[in-house]
C-alpha cells in the first residue's frame, strides 16, 4: 500500500491546459466494450522486481503514454511536421506512414509535412522545402528501406530552426533519431520554451544500435539482427566447409554491443561474441587465440561475431598491428582479428581458413520486419497522442513493455549499454558457451 | 514502502531442498563483472501501472525465473526428457536445441532424451522409444519448421506416463505445448506428487494463437504474423489489381484473434480485422457489408482479415447461408464472408472481385524467425534453471518482459483473449480505421 | 550445308518499310566493341537436336528478336500503350517499368500510357482513362506484386478497341497476358489490318501456368515455384511431425502441370506429383492409395503435390465421392484426395494425419524474384524492339534461350502441356521416385 | 538436309562397351507414354542462329546428355565417389543429394561415398577418410549453404589420387568444381587412361562467377544474383536517403563480370555497372566521375555496381592511389572508387555521401534458390547417366537449354567472359542507361 512522490527528473512538460475533446471517440469507463483514454496521472513503475518481504520501490515511475481525453491542440487547426535524422534504420518509413494516418485520418489534423534531409530541412539556407504528406505518397513506402524524407547528420542552429517552424506555422515537430537527434530536439524545445511558443516537440527514438536509455527495444533492431543472422549463417557455412575454418563477422555497435550480442543469441551458431562492454585479451590461456585453438581442435570450425567497437584497447596497445597496417586498421577490429588469427596459426604452422564478413550498412538499409513494423506503428501513435495533448520536450520510451513519456533531457544523458552482469550477456554466454573473459 | 503478502495461488512447488551448488559459475554479488544468480525470493510485480497518488498493488507477484545458486538435482546424475505436443509452432526445434545445450553442456547433466510424437511417446503400448539427444542431432534442426521429435494431440493416462518416467529413470520432464498439454503436464505432476517421486515437470508454453495466460508472447507467434503478413501482401496486390477488388484472408485463431489482430497491425494495409472477441454484424448501416461498400466506393479495393473463430454467431443465426451451403460452411467464416459479399454486391449489380486466401497450416510450419529464436532460447534456458532447482508443476511465463514461474494449475485455467478495450485492439482499430463494431 | 525454305506459318507481319534510323547507337559490324543490331533475316532453328549422320531439319525456324537498325516508327512522334490482362503474375510491374525506360529513355518515344484494368480500359463505355507513365510512377513498382495498371478478364469488341486506339492516337499496343489475351490481341491486329492502320500490336506472354507455346519459360513462373516450394516445405514439416503424416498441397495448373511438376522437382522432398497430363488411379496395387500406404510404411510420412487440373476423370467417375461431398467437390481434386486418403486409411483402422494446403493465389501475387526480373526486363525490351520496327500481330517467344518473334495466330493455337515422355516429367519421376502411373 | 562430320575436339571418351541394361525402366519408342532413353548419337547443334538463305553450320555439335539404354557399369557392383572443390557455391549440397538418390535409389548402385575437403580427401597423407552417404545424411542438407563434404583449394598429385581410387575400389568419381577443379579432374582421367583403369571421371561445373565454357548458366549463379540484389536494394536506399548519395557495391568476379552484370540487370536500379571485360576511365567527359556528376545533378543519387576484377588497369596506372593507400588497395577497386569519388567531389566542394558495400562471401554461402535447385538436380542426374554409361573425362554442359557432354580438355581451355558486343551487355547498358564506355 505504497504512496510515492514523483521525482522531478521524470516530469513531463506540457504546453498548456487541454481544452479540446479528443475526436477519437474512446471511453473513460471500463466494461463498455470501448477502449479507454489513458488518464494523465497514470504511471509505469521504474522497478518491478523486488525480493519477498522487502518493500517495492514505488518512488520512481514514468508517465504512461496513450490517447488523452482532452487535447491541447484543436485538430483541424493543427499542422505537424516530421523529420528523420542520422543513419538509416529499418522502419523509418513505417513511422512516417503511421504518423500520417494517426494524425490526418484519426485525429483529423489539417496537414502533416515532411522535412527533407534531417535538420538541414529546417535550415532555409541549405534545406529543401518540406513536402505535404498524403495517402498516395505514404501508402507503399513501408515496403522500402531508408527514409522517404531523406536524412542527414549533425545539428543546425536552434533559433533558426524555431524561426522556420514559426514561419511555416508548424505546431508539432516529431524528431525521429538517435541520441544526437534528441539532443537537437531538446535544444529546439528549449528555444521554443524561451520564446514561449505553443509548439510541441516529440522525439521518437531511432537507433540501430538499440542504445537509447529507457527504451527497451528500438525499432529496426530486430530487423538488423535478422539480417545479421543471415550473414552469420553464411559465415557458419564457410567455416564448416573448410578445414579449421573460421567465420568472422563484424557488426555495427560502436558504444554498445546489442547487435552483436542479439545476433549471436538469435543465431545459436556463434562460438565467440565480442562486445565493447566486455574487454578481452588476445594472448594467454584465457585469451581469444587460445580459446579459438581449443575450439578448432574440438570442433574443426568456429564462428566469431565482433561489434565494431569491441577491443579498441587492443588496437591501441598493439604497436605491431599498427605499424603493419597503418591508419586503416586503427579501430578496425575485424581486420585486426583476421590478421592476428592468421598470424597466430601461421606461426604455429597450423592451417587456418578465415573468412571475413563485413555487412556494414546492409543490415540497416532493409525494410522493417514484422516485429519492428508493429513497434513503429505503436511508437508513432503514442507520439501523436502525446503531441496532441500538448506534451513537449519528451521522447516515447518503452519500459517493461509499456510505452512511456521520457523527458528528452533525461533520455539523452548517456547511451544505454549491455550490463556484463545482466540477463542478456548471461544468455549470450550460455548460448555461445564461450568462457567468460 | 510497501510490504506484500504472497497469495497462495502463485506459489511454486519445489521437490525439496537445494543442496547441490550450481556448476554455472555465476556470482551472488553485483559489481564483480560476473552475472548473478537469481535469489529464490525475487518477485515480479503483477500490476505495474498505477495512478499518481494511489497505492501500488504489491500483493500480487510472480516468482522470477532464472539460474539458482543451489540445485535440487545433482547434474551428473540427472536424466531429463523433453516432449512436444499439439500443433506445430515455429521454434519447437529451437527450444529442443537450447534445452540440449543448456542442460548437457552448461549444467552437464548425464542425458537428455526426446520423447517421440507427444504424450503418445510416454505410453509404451503405442509409443516409440525415446531418442538420446546429441550435438550432431540437434545442431542444424533450428533451420527447420516442425519438431524433430514428432508430436501428437490428446492426453494419455497419467499413472502410465509416470510409470514410464520411473522405468526410464527420468528426473525431469519438459512439456512443450499449449493449454491441453499443460493440463496434461499438471496431471502428471499431480500423479508424481501423489507417489511422492522426485521428478520435476516443467511446462514451456507453446501456442501459435498466443492465448496462454501470463505469457505476454509465445514463441512462434511473431513468425506466424510474418508469414500471415506475406499472404496479406498478396491479398492486397490482388485487391488493388481488380476493379472493386476484395482480398479476404482467413487466419488461425479459434478462441483468440491475436494472429488476425497482430498481422493486421503489422501489415498496415488491412481495412477490416475480424476477431472472435469482438462480434460484428453483416447487415445494417454499421454492418460489414455497408462498411465494405463505403470503403470500395472510396478506395476501389479492400483487404479483410478474419480469424477462423470470428463471427461464429453469424453462421449459426443465418439460415439462408446454412441452407445454401450445407454443412461444409458451418464454422467456415472465410467462405461465408466470401459468399455473402458476392451475394450482396451481386444483388445490387455492383461487380465485386473477391480473392480468398486460406493459408491454414502454412504460417505455423516454417522455421522460427529472429525474434522467436531469441524467445525460444530464453524460454528453454529458464525452464532448465527451474527444473534443476527442483521446481515443478510450473510453466515459464513472460510478464512485463520478465521470465517468471507460473503454477500450471493457474496458467491453464482459461485461455488468454484480446481485450476489446485494451491497447492491442485500440491499435488495430487505429491502424485499420475500421469503425468500431 | 543446308538451305531452308521458310514455312509461311512462322512469317511475321510488318506494318511497312523501316526508314528511320534507330537512335540506340549500336553497330552493324562485330569486333568494334559495340553491340550489334539484329538483322531482319536472322533466324533461330526450331529443332536443334539430331542424330549423328542424319540431316538437321533446317526448314523450320523463328525470326530472331532484337534491336533493328531501322525503325518503322519515328520515335519522337510515337505514342505507345501497354495493357495487362488476366490473372496476376509476378513481374507484371517489371515489364511495365522496363517498357517505360526502353521506350521513353532509350528510344525516346513521346509518350507511353498505361491502359487501366485490362481490355476494359480500351472500352470507353466502362473503362477508366489511361494514365501517362513517368519515371516517378514506375520507379518503385517492381517491389510490388500485382499490376499497377489493374487487370481484368475477358475480351472486348475489337472494332471498338481499335477505335479507341485511333482516337487516342496510339501507335503501338503492348498486350501482356495469356492465351485469351493474345487471342484478343490477334483480333485487334486483324481489325487494324482490315482498316489498314499503321498500329503495331505486340504480345508479351504472361501465364503463371507456363503453358504458352513457343515460350520455354514465362515470367513469374520461377517465382511461383519458389512460393510453392515454401508451402511444400511446410507440408513436409507437418508430415514429418505426425505419425503417418501426409502433407497434401494443391497448386495452380488447370490444363498443364508445370507448377506442380516444377515445384516438386525444385523442392526434392515431394513423394508424389500429380498433373493433368498424366492420369492416375486411386485403387489397385499401382493406385495412389496403395503407393501411399507403401510409402508411409517405409518412411512414416509423405508429401503429395497435386495440380488443380489433375485427376478430373476420378472426380467424375467416383459417384461415392460425389454423393458424399456434393457439388463443392466437383473439380476440387485436393479435397477429394484428402477425403479419399482419410477414408481409405480409416477403413483399415490405420491412423493417418493429412494436412491440406491450398495456397491458391498466394503464389502469384508476390513480386518477381531475380530470375523472373531478368526475364521481364528482356521480354519488355524485345517487345519494344519489335514494335519500333513496325512488326505486329506477334508475341515475344523464348526458344532454346533465344528471344524470338512468333505470330499471334500460331502461338495461340493451343496451350503448351507437359510431355509425359519428355525431360521434365522424367526428371520429376526421378526426383520423386514415384513409380510411373 | 545437311550431313555433318564430327570434329574430334568434341568427341567423348568411353571406358568401353555398354553391356548392362539400364534399370531405369524407360523406353526407346516415343508415343508409349514412357520417357525415352537418349541414343548415344544424339547431338545438340553448336550454332542455332543463322541468316535466312545462308546455310546452317551443322558441323559442330555436342553429345546430348541423358539416360542411356545400356550401361558400362553393373549398378549393384558399382561404387561411386563425389568430391567438392574450390570456393562455396549455392547448391553444392543439392548436387550431392541428387547424386545420392539418382545413383543409390534409381540406379541402385552399391555405394556412394563423399570425399572430404576437396582433393585433399584423395590424398591419404593429409585427407580424412571418405564417408558413406545415406538417406538420413543427405535428406536435409539442401537447406544449408556450403558443402556437407567440406572443400579445399588446390590440386593433388594425380597418380596418388588414382591410387586412392583403386584402393578404395571406386568406379566413378564426380568432381564438382570450377576451372581448376576440372583441370584436376582431367589430370586424374588422363592418369586413369594411362593405367587403363575402368574408372569414370565426370565433372559437374561449379563456379559462382558463371565463367565456365559451354555452360550457359552454372548452379548457384542466380542465387548469388538474388543475394547481390538485396545488397543493391540497400545501397539504393542509402543513396536515396542522403543528399548526393552514392551507393557503391563491390561484387565477386575476378575475370568475368557476370555477377555484377546480372545483378544490375535484375535489380534495375543500378546506374553504373563496371566489369573486367569493359575498360573504363575515371577522368574526362566520358569518364566515370563526369558521368556520376551528371547523374547526381539530374537525380540526386546514384548506384554503382563494380566487379572486383574491373578497372585493374586504373589501379596500376594510378601511382597516387597506390602511394596513399599502400598494398591494401592494390586491386581493391571498390575502395579505390570510393576514395576517388570522395576526392573528386571534395575538390569541387560538392558534398557527396558514398556508402560502400562489400558483401564478399555472403552471396555465395547461402542455400540454393528455386532456379538453382532445379539446375543442381538436373546436372547431378545427367552426370549420373553419363558415368553409368562409362563416359569419362567429360563435364556436363548446358547449351541452348540442353544438357550436353563436353570433354574436360575442351571446357577448361579458358574461362567464359562477357562479350561486350553480346546480348547480356547490351541489356545491361539498356537497363542502366549508362553510356557505353
How many structural domains is chain C composed of? 2
Prediction pTM value: 0.95
Considering the domain boundaries, does residue A398 fall inside one?
yes
- pLDDT tens column, B158-188: 999 999 999 999 999 999 999 999 999 999 9
Q: Give the model's pLDDT for residue A51.
A: 92
Q: Which of C150, C241, C362 sits opposite B88 (nearest CB)?
A: C241
Considering the domain boundaries, does residue C43 fall inside one?
no
Closest Cα in chain D to A141: D237
Q: Using 50, 70 and 90 to split pLDDT, how confident is the model at A7? A: low
Residue B322 has pLDDT above 50, yes or no: no
Contact list in A for residue B51 (CB cut-off 8 A) is 39, 41-43
Q: Give the model's pLDDT for residue D5.
A: 52
Please give, rounded to a whole number of angstroms, the shortest distance from the CA of D423 to a CA of chain C. 8
Backbone angles phi and psi of B144, in degrees to 5: -115, 145
The chain-wide mean pLDDT, for chain A, equals: 93
ipTM: 0.94
Q: Which of C120, C144, C234 sits opposite B361 (nearest CB)?
A: C234
Considering the domain boundaries, does residue C404 fall inside one?
yes
Check: CB of residue A80 under 8 Å from CB of residue A173. Answer: yes
CB contact under 8 A, B49 and A102: no
DSSP 8-state secondary structure symbol assigned to residue A428? H
Q: Are C76 and C211 part of one and the same domain?
A: yes
The neighbours of chain D, by the rule of 3 or more Cβ pairs under 8 Å, are: A, B, C
Cα(C377)–Cα(D29) distance, integer angstroms:
40
Q: Looking up cell 583403369, which residue turns up?
A: D197
Please give, rounded to a whole number of angstroms, the shortest distance from the CA of A199 to a CA of chain C. 34
> How many of the other CB atoms lie within 10 Å of CB of A369?
25
Percent of chain C residues topping a pLDDT of 90: 87
Mutate to test the interface with A, among D87, D362, D364 (most CBs of A within 10 A): D362
Q: Give the model's pLDDT for residue D331.
A: 74
Cα(D330)–Cα(D311) distance, integer angstroms:
11
Considering the domain boundaries, does residue B3 fall inside one?
no
Q: Is the C-alpha dihedral spanning A278, A284, A289, A292 positive or negative? A: negative
Residue B299 has pLDDT above 80, yes or no: yes
Check: CB of residue B34 under 8 Å from CB of residue B54. Answer: no
Distances (CA, A) of D344 to D56, D238, D348: 53, 20, 7
Q: Are C183 and C228 part of one and the same domain?
A: no
- pLDDT tens column, D162-198: 999 999 999 999 999 999 999 999 999 999 999 999 9
Cα(C201)–Cα(C204) distance, integer angstroms:
10
Cell triple for A321 = 598491428
- B&D contacts, CB < 8 Å: 8
Mutate to test the interface with D, among B143, B145, B367 (most CBs of D within 10 A): B143
- Residue with the bigger pLDDT between B4 and A379: it is A379
Q: Write out the residues of chain B at the interface with chain C, using a CB-CB cutoff of 8 A.
A: 88, 117, 120, 144-147, 150-152, 230-231, 233-238, 240-243, 326, 328, 355-362, 364-366
Of A209, A332, A339, A372, catalytic: A209
Of D102, D179, D209, D332, catalytic: D209
Coil, strand or helix at C140: coil
Q: Are B177 and B252 part of one and the same domain?
A: no
Q: Are A336 and A384 part of one and the same domain?
A: no
Q: For residue B51, give the H/E element and its range.
A: strand B49-51
Can you give the residue range of the structural domain that contains A188? 63-219+368-411
CB contact under 8 A, B365 and C235: yes
Percent of chain D residues topping a pLDDT of 70: 95
Q: Using 50, 70 and 90 to split pLDDT, how confident is the model at C127? A: confident
- pLDDT tens column, D112-153: 999 999 999 999 999 899 999 999 999 999 999 999 999 999
CB contact under 8 A, C144 and A144: no
Decide the pairing of beta strands D20-21 and D70-71: antiparallel
Q: Using 50, 70 and 90 to split pLDDT, how confident is the model at A2? A: very low
Cell triple for A345 = 596459426
Of C102, C171, C209, C271, catalytic: C209
Least confident of A90-104, C264-278, C410-424: C410-424
Considering the domain boundaries, does residue A373 fall inside one?
yes
Q: Give the model's pLDDT for residue B436.
A: 58
CB contact under 8 A, B144 and D144: no
Please give, rounded to a whole number of angstroms, the shortest distance from the CA of A141 to a CA of chain C. 9
Contact list in A for residue D237 (CB cut-off 8 A) is 88, 144-146, 365-366
Contact list in B for residue D146 (CB cut-off 8 A) is none
Residue A3 has pLDDT above 50, yes or no: no
Q: Is the C-alpha dihedral spanning A356, A362, A366, A371 positive or negative? A: positive
Please give, rounded to a whole number of angstroms, the shortest distance from the CA of B302 to a CA of chain C. 14
What CATH number does residue D396 fall under?
3.40.50.450
Cα(B160)–Cα(B154) distance, integer angstroms:
15
- What is the arithmetic mean of pLDDT over B303-314? 95
Q: Give the model's pLDDT for residue C402.
A: 97
What CATH number does residue B251 fall under?
3.40.50.460
The neighbours of chain C, by the rule of 3 or more Cβ pairs under 8 Å, are: A, B, D
Q: Are C211 and C68 part of one and the same domain?
A: yes
> How many of the other CB atoms lie within 10 Å of CB of B31?
8
Closest Cα in chain A to C143: A143
Residue C326 has pLDDT above 50, yes or no: no
CB contact under 8 A, D97 and C369: no
Cα(B262)–Cα(B221) distance, integer angstroms:
9
Q: Using 50, 70 and 90 to split pLDDT, how confident is the model at C414? A: confident
CB contact under 8 A, A151 and D359: no
Check: CB of residue C158 under 8 Å from CB of residue C408. Answer: no
Residue B38 has pLDDT above 80, yes or no: yes
Residue C186 has pLDDT above 70, yes or no: yes
Cα(D315)–Cα(D329) distance, integer angstroms:
8
Least confident of B194-203, B205-214, C354-363, D357-366: B205-214
Contact list in D for residue B143 (CB cut-off 8 A) is 140, 143-144
Please give, rounded to a whole number of angstroms, the shortest distance from the CA of D187 to a CA of chain A. 24
Q: Write out the residues of chain D at the interface with chain B, using a CB-CB cutoff of 8 A.
A: 140, 143-144
Q: Which of A145, A230, A231 sits opposite D234 (nearest CB)?
A: A145
Q: Are C256 and C395 part of one and the same domain?
A: no
Half-sphere exposure in the Cβ direction for D54 (13 Å, CA): 11
Residue C6 has pLDDT above 80, yes or no: no
Q: Using 50, 70 and 90 to split pLDDT, how confident is the model at B51? A: very high
Q: Are D136 and D78 part of one and the same domain?
A: yes
* Residue C48 CA from chain centroid, whole number: 23
Q: Are C338 and C210 part of one and the same domain?
A: no
CB contact under 8 A, B51 and A34: no
- pLDDT tens column, B106-135: 999 999 999 999 999 999 999 899 999 999
Q: Give the model's pLDDT for residue A436.
A: 58
Q: Using 50, 70 and 90 to split pLDDT, how confident is the model at C210? A: confident
Considering the domain boundaries, does residue B334 fall inside one?
yes
The chain-wide mean pLDDT, for chain B, equals: 93
Q: Are B203 and B232 part of one and the same domain?
A: no
Mutate to test the interface with D, among B140, B141, B148 (most CBs of D within 10 A): B140
Q: Write out the residues of chain D at the interface with chain A, using a CB-CB cutoff of 8 A.
A: 88, 117, 120, 144-147, 150-152, 230-231, 233-238, 240-243, 325-326, 328, 355-362, 364-366
Q: Is C155 left (phi over 0), alpha (psi -120 to 50) or beta?
A: beta
Considering the domain boundaries, does residue D171 fall inside one?
yes
Q: Are B73 and B174 part of one and the same domain?
A: yes
Cα(B184)–Cα(B88) distance, integer angstroms:
17
DSSP 8-state secondary structure symbol assigned to residue D108? -
Nearest to A280 by CA among A272, A201, A264: A272
Q: Is C209 a catalytic residue?
A: yes
Q: What is the CA radius of gyration of chain B?
A: 24
Contact list in A for residue D326 (CB cut-off 8 A) is 326
Please give, rounded to a whole number of angstroms, the shortest distance from the CA of B49 to a CA of chain A. 5
- pLDDT tens column, B378-414: 999 999 999 999 999 999 999 999 999 999 999 987 8
Q: Are C137 and C97 part of one and the same domain?
A: yes
Q: For residue A205, give the H/E element and its range.
A: strand A200-205
Closest Cα in chain D to A354: D361
Strands (E), C178-329: 200-205, 245-251, 272-274, 301-307
Cα(A127)–Cα(C17) distance, integer angstroms:
54
Catalytic residues of B: 209
Closest Cα in chain D to A300: D150
Contact list in D for residue B140 (CB cut-off 8 A) is 140, 143-144
Please give, rounded to a whole number of angstroms, the shortest distance from the CA of A423 to a CA of chain D. 31
- pLDDT tens column, A154-191: 999 999 999 999 999 999 999 999 999 999 999 999 99
Percent of chain C residues topping a pLDDT of 70: 95
Cell triple for B278 = 469482438
- A&D contacts, CB < 8 Å: 101
Q: Which of B234, B326, B361 sits opposite C361 (nearest CB)?
A: B234
Check: CB of residue C65 under 8 Å from CB of residue C386. Answer: yes
Q: Give the model's pLDDT for residue B9.
A: 85
Nearest to C187 by CA among C158, C211, C163: C158
Q: Are D233 and D269 part of one and the same domain?
A: yes
Considering the domain boundaries, does residue C129 fall inside one?
yes
Mutate to test the interface with D, among C23, C42, C43, C48 (most CBs of D within 10 A): C48
Q: Which of D238, D243, D366 sits opposite A234 (nearest CB)?
A: D366
Q: Using 50, 70 and 90 to split pLDDT, how confident is the model at D59? A: confident
Amino acid at each position: 500500500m505504497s504512496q510515492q512522490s514523483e521525482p522531478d527528473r521524470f516530469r513531463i512538460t506540457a504546453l498548456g491546459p487541454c481544452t479540446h475533446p479528443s475526436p477519437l471517440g474512446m471511453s473513460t469507463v471500463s466494461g463498455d466494450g470501448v477502449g479507454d483514454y489513458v488518464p494523465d496521472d497514470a504511471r509505469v513503475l521504474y522497478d518491478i522486481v523486488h525480493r519477498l518481504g522487502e518493500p517495492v520501490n514505488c518512488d520512481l515511475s514514468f508517465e504512461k503514454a496513450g490517447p488523452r481525453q482532452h487535447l491541447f491542440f484543436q485538430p483541424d487547426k493543427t499542422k505537424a511536421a516530421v523529420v528523420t535524422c542520422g543513419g538509416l534504420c529499418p522502419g523509418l518509413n513505417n513511422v512516417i506512414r503511421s504518423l500520417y494516418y494517426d494524425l490526418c485520418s484519426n485525429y483529423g489534423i489539417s496537414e502533416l509535412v515532411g522535412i527533407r534531409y534531417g535538420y538541414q530541412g529546417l535550415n532555409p539556407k541549405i534545406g529543401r522545402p518540406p513536402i505535404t504528406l498524403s495517402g498516395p505518397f505514404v501508402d507503399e513506402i513501408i515496403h522500402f528501406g531508408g527514409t522517404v524524407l531523406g536524412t542527414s547528420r549533425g545539428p543546425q542552429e536552434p533559433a533558426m530552426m524555431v524561426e522556420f517552424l514559426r514561419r511555416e506555422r508548424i505546431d508539432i515537430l516529431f524528431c525521429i533519431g538517435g541520441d544526437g537527434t534528441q539532443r537537437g530536439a531538446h535544444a529546439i524545445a528549449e528555444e521554443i520554451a524561451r520564446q514561449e511558443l505553443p509548439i510541441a516537440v516529440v522525439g521518437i527514438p531511432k537507433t540501430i544500435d538499440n542504445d537509447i536509455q529507457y527504451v527497451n527495444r528500438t525499432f529496426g533492431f530486430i530487423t538488423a539482427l535478422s539480417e545479421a543472422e543471415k550473414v552469420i549463417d553464411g559465415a557458419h557455412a564457410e567455416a564448416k566447409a573448410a578445414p579449421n575454418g573460421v567465420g568472422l563477422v563484424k557488426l555495427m555497435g560502436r558504444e554498445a554491443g546489442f547487435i552483436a550480442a542479439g545476433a549471436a543469441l538469435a543465431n545459436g551458431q556463434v562460438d565467440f561474441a565480442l562486445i565493447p562492454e566486455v574487454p578481452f585479451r588476445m594472448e594467454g590461456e584465457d585469451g581469444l587465440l587460445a580459446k579459438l585453438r581449443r575450439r578448432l581442435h574440438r570442433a574443426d570450425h568456429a564462428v566469431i561475431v565482433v561489434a565494431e567497437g569491441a577491443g579498441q584497447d587492443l588496437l591501441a596497445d598493439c604497436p605491431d598491428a599498427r605499424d603493419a597496417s597503418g591508419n586503416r586498421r586503427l579501430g578496425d577490429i575485424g581486420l585486426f582479428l583476421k590478421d592476428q588469427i592468421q598470424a597466430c596459426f601461421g606461426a604455429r604452422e597450423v592451417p587456418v581458413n578465415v573468412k571475413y564478413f563485413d555487412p556494414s550498412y546492409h543490415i540497416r538499409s532493409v525494410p522493417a520486419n514484422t516485429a519492428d513494423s508493429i513497434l513503429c506503428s505503436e511508437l508513432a501513435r503514442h507520439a501523436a497522442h502525446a503531441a496532441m495533448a500538448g506534451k513537449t520536450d519528451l521522447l516515447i520510451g518503452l519500459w517493461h513493455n509499456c510505452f512511456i513519456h521520457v523527458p528528452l533531457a533525461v533520455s539523452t544523458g548517456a547511451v544505454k549499454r549491455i550490463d556484463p552482469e545482466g540477463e542478456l550477456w548471461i544468455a549470450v554466454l550460455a548460448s555461445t558457451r564461450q568462457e567468460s573473459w
